[in-house]
């Protein structure tokens, strides 16, 4: 039986910090699918590639920019070009380069399902391997909602939607979260008739209500039908397509049904019960602040399987925390400023608290708002949609949250995340010089407003105390 200092189950982004900085430790990585995980091949990279292509095609059709292009491009042709660009970006879903990089770093790659059979031993397709430390990085799987008749059709999940060459004429998207909104926008941009069925009363319900309002306006321009507060209760084949019966209103017919109701951690089939850790199906593996699995020794977990903010950047961050602890350091994760990103048009970015979640946490927040159209960059770019809302704790005089749409907020949100994570005083943030004419200057006005408001409230509180 081979022995390794560290065995990692899963090769997604959270594993690379572990195997790329082994510092002399022997590392084995067990992967059942593509080396590198879903993000590079089936999720983040193909979706953002397709959305960028859709935006470029949409720009060509925009009257403001049409004169800069040679002529109109048929939507079907545009979609085929987008698919070719997507497949090039993901290297045709060939994981050779990532696997080679892993091996060059000195790690050993085992392809197959890994399962713990006893403390210190993992079985991979009948081959037992020993470990001193085990890192769980098994990701998540799409949730299949309890819809009557689902087995009678072939629904898409995001993986099928992002590997297909088909452009359906119509599609029903079940779920109005990040994936549903991104893929709904993608197919609608290329001319598909899109219906989004959302169980909650608005799109992206965890964000500020204004996010749903702005997105709904954007979807309306693309003739997307949004059905909030509605659930698909039954589906059935209808010709070559599908009929979706909802609990409110008339049935919806379409060529395809896309399931985008979320994902659940993949933890229940890993043999964790053999370590004394009981995890029910769909539940995350509990971890402490060092990313150690609660109730087990020398076992760690990173990424979606932990249930903490299911983003690639979270997995990468947790991977660095685990790698540092394996080196003997005392690294602890801090999740107060993890950016939440949705790459619609306009994009959606959140970090920290919303106004509602701040109140739920017992904070009486200050907030300030500005529109992207207030910036000069909106004129030069021809981009006028979008806004930013900052949330502050007046007692501590620091930012505790932000939500933004448009203005390439996903590129400058790290400034806000740093401010929240480091608890930088608002008065310092208001004094930062941001380059002209960037979209980041949309922060100037709200920060100055919050700095004045915090000072005034602090002064008023002092007078009352006297």
Name the pTM for this structure.
0.94
Based on the fold, state whether residues 459 and 383 are members of the same structural domain.
Answer: yes
199-213 b/e (C-beta count within 10 Å ≥ 16 → b): beebbbeebbeebbe
In a domain, 43, yes or no: no
What domain range is 289 assigned to? 2-36+95-142+264-326
Number of compact structural domains in the chain: 3
Of 369, 341, 315, 383, give the one whose Cα is nearest residue 138.
315
Rg over CA atoms, the chain: 24
pLDDT band at 101 (very low <50, low <70, confident <90, very high): very high
Tens digit of pLDDT for each residue in 170-193? 999 999 999 999 999 999 999 999
Share of the chain above pLDDT 70, in %: 98
What integer pLDDT is reported at residue 464 of this predicted model?
A: 60
Of 320, 289, 324, give the one whose Cα is nearest residue 15.
320
pLDDT band at 344 (very low <50, low <70, confident <90, very high): very high
How do 127-136 and 2-9 pair as beta strands?
A: parallel
Based on the fold, state whether residues 17 and 115 are members of the same structural domain.
Answer: yes
Question: CATH code at 455?
Answer: 3.30.390.30
What integer pLDDT is reported at residue 24 of this predicted model?
A: 87
With contact defined as beta carbons under 8 Å apart, do 405 and 432 qualify?
Answer: no
With contact defined as beta carbons under 8 Å apart, do 393 and 407 qualify?
Answer: no
Per-residue pLDDT for 463 more than 80?
no
Work out the average pLDDT over 39-43: 95
Per-residue pLDDT for 62 more than 90?
no
Based on the fold, state whether residues 358 and 427 are members of the same structural domain.
Answer: yes
What integer pLDDT is reported at residue 461 of this predicted model?
A: 65
Work out the average pLDDT over 295-324: 97
Based on the fold, state whether residues 125 and 216 are members of the same structural domain.
Answer: no
Tens digit of pLDDT for each residue in 231-290? 999 999 999 999 999 998 899 999 999 999 999 999 988 999 999 999 998 999 999 999
In a domain, 395, yes or no: yes
Based on the fold, state whether residues 316 and 447 are members of the same structural domain.
Answer: no
What integer pLDDT is reported at residue 436 of this predicted model?
A: 97
Work out the average pLDDT over 28-40: 96
In a domain, 409, yes or no: yes
What integer pLDDT is reported at residue 79 of this predicted model?
A: 95
Question: CATH code at 283?
Answer: 3.50.50.60
Based on the fold, state whether residues 447 and 372 are members of the same structural domain.
Answer: yes
Work out the average pLDDT over 58-70: 81
Domain boundary (272, 294, 326) is at: 326
Q: Rounded to whole angstroms, how far apart are CA atoms 351 and 427? A: 20
Look at 70 and 398; give whichever has higher pLDDT: 398
What integer pLDDT is reported at residue 7 of this predicted model?
A: 98
Work out the average pLDDT over 320-325: 98
In a domain, 199, yes or no: yes
Tens digit of pLDDT for each residue in 80-92? 999 999 999 999 9
Per-residue pLDDT for 10 more than 80?
yes
Work out the average pLDDT over 330-344: 97
Task: Lowest mean pLDDT of 65-74, 340-349, 456-465, name the range.
Answer: 456-465
- Please report the DSSP string for 70-106 in residue order: SS---HHHHHHHHHHHHHHHTGGG--HHHHHHHHHTT
Question: Average pLDDT, whole number, for the chain?
Answer: 95
Based on the fold, state whether residues 181 and 299 are members of the same structural domain.
Answer: no
With contact defined as beta carbons under 8 Å apart, do 368 and 450 qualify?
Answer: yes
Tens digit of pLDDT for each residue in 111-163? 999 999 999 999 999 999 999 999 999 999 999 999 999 999 999 999 999 99
Q: Rounded to whole angstroms, how far apart are CA atoms 170 and 193? A: 4
Tens digit of pLDDT for each residue in 417-445? 999 999 999 999 999 999 999 999 999 99
Domain boundary (261, 294, 310) is at: 261
Per-residue pLDDT for 358 more than 60?
yes
Per-residue pLDDT for 375 more than 80?
yes
What integer pLDDT is reported at residue 466 of this predicted model?
A: 53
- Please report the DSSP string for 294-361 in residue order: TT-TTEEE-GGGGTS--SHHHHHHHHHHHHHHHTT-------TT--EEE-SSS-EEEEE--HHHHHHT
């Amino acid at each position: 039986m081979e022995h390794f200092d560290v065995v990692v189950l899963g090769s997604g982004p959270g594993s690379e910090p572990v195997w790329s900085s082994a510092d002399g430790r022997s590392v084995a990585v067990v992967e059942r699918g593509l080396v590198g995980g879903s993000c590079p091949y089936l999720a983040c990279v193909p979706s953002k590639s397709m959305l960028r292509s859709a935006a470029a095609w949409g720009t060509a059709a925009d009257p403001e920019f049409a004169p800069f292009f040679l002529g109109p491009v048929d939507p079907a042709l545009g979609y085929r070009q987008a698919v070719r660009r997507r497949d090039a970006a993901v290297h045709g879903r060939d994981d050779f380069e990532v696997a080679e990089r892993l091996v060059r770093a000195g790690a050993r790659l085992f392809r197959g399902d890994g399962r713990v059979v006893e403390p210190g031993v993992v079985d991979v397709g009948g081959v037992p391997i020993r470990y001193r430390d085990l890192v769980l990085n098994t990701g998540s799987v799409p949730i299949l909602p309890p819809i009557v008749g689902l087995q009678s059709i072939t629904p898409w999940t995001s993986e099928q939607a992002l590997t297909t060459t088909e452009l359906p004429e119509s599609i029903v998207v079940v779920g109005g979260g990040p994936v549903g909104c991104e893929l709904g926008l993608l197919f609608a941009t290329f001319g598909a008739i899109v219906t989004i069925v959302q169980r909650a009363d608005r799109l992206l319900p965890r964000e500020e209500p204004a996010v749903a309002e702005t997105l709904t306006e954007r979807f309306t321009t693309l003739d997307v039908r949004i059905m909030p507060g509605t659930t698909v209760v039954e589906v059935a084949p209808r010709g070559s397509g599908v009929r979706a019966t909802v609990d409110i209103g008339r049935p919806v017919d379409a060529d395809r049904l896309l399931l985008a109701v979320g994902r659940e951690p993949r933890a229940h089939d890993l043999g964790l019960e053999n370590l004394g850790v009981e995890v029910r199906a769909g539940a995350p593996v509990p971890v402490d602040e060092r990313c150690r699995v609660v109730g087990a020794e020398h076992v760690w977990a990173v990424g979606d399987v932990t249930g903490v903010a299911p983003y690639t950047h979270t997995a990468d961050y947790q991977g660095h925390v685990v790698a540092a602890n394996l080196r003997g350091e005392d690294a602890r994760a801090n999740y107060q400023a993890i950016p939440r990103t949705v790459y619609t048009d306009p994009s959606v970015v959140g970090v920290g608290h919303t106004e509602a979640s701040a109140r739920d946490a017992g904070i009486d927040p200050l907030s300030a708002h500005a529109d992207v159209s207030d910036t000069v960059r909106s004129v030069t770019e021809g981009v006028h949609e979008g806004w930013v809302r900052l949330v502050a704790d007046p007692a501590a005089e620091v930012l505790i949250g932000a939500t933004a749409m448009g203005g390439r907020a996903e590129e400058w949100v790290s400034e806000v995340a740093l401010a929240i994570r480091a608890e930088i005083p608002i008065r310092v943030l208001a004094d930062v010089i941001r380059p002209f004419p960037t979209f980041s200057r949309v922060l100037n006005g709200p920060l100055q407003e919050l700095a004045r408001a915090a000072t005034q409230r602090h002064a008023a509180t002092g007078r009352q105390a006297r």
